[in-house]
Amino acid sequence: SQTLLSSLVWWENNVPRVHIVLCYYFQVVGEYGMAHFSDTVKSKGKDYCIFFNSQWARLPQDLNKASRLQIYDLTSSVLCSPSDVPEGGFPNRIPMVMRGNCTFYEKVRLAQINGAKGLLIVSKDRLTPPAGNKTQYEEIDIPVALLSYSDMLDISKTFGKGRLVAMYAPNEPVLDYNMVIIFLMAVGTVAIGGYWAGSRDSKKRYMKHKRDDGAEKQDEETVDVTPIMICVFVFMCCNMLVLLYFFYDYLVLWVIAIFCVASSVGLYSCLWPFIRRIPFCKCRIPENNLPYLHKRPQVRMLLLSALCISVSIVWMVFRNEDQWAWVLQDTLGIAFCLYMLKTVRLPTFKACTLLLSVLFVYDVFFVFITPFFTKSGESIMVEVAAGPSDSSTHEKLPMVLKVPRLNSSPLALCDRPFSLLGFGDILVPGLLVVYCHRFDILTQSSRIYFVACTIAYGIGLLITFVALAVMQMGQPALLYLVPCTLLTSLVIALLRRELPQFWTGSGFVVNTSSGSQPFQPVTPKMKVPEIGDPHCKQSCGDRAIYKGDKGERFLGPIHKVSKMMVQCSMNL
SS (H, E, C) 370-388: HHHCCCCCCCHHHHHHHCC
Give 103's contacts (C-beta < 8 A, 6+ positions apart). Answer: 132
Q: Which of these, 99, 107, 101, lies nearest to 132 by C-alpha position?
A: 107
Tell me which of 363, 415, 440, 549 is the catalytic residue.
363
> How do beta strands 119-123 and 545-548 pair?
unpaired
Cα–Cα distance measured from residue 490 to residue 483, given in angstroms and rounded to the nearest whole number? 10
Is residue 392 a contact partner of residue 327, using CB atoms and an 8 Å limit?
no
**Relative orientation angle of helices 424-443 and 178-206, to the nearest 10 degrees:** 40
The string of DSSP letters for 508-557 reads: EEEE-S-TTSPPEEPPTTSPPPPTT-TTEEE-SS---EEEETTEEEEES-
CA 288 to the chain's CA centroid: 45
Strand, helix or coil at 492?
helix
440 belongs to the catalytic site: no
Tell me which of 425, 440, 533, 542 is the catalytic residue.
425
H or E element, residue 502: helix 499-504
Is residue 400 a contact partner of residue 385, using CB atoms and an 8 Å limit?
yes
Is residue 64 a contact partner of residue 168, using CB atoms and an 8 Å limit?
no
H or E element, residue 426: helix 424-443
H or E element, residue 454: helix 448-471
Active site residues: 363, 425
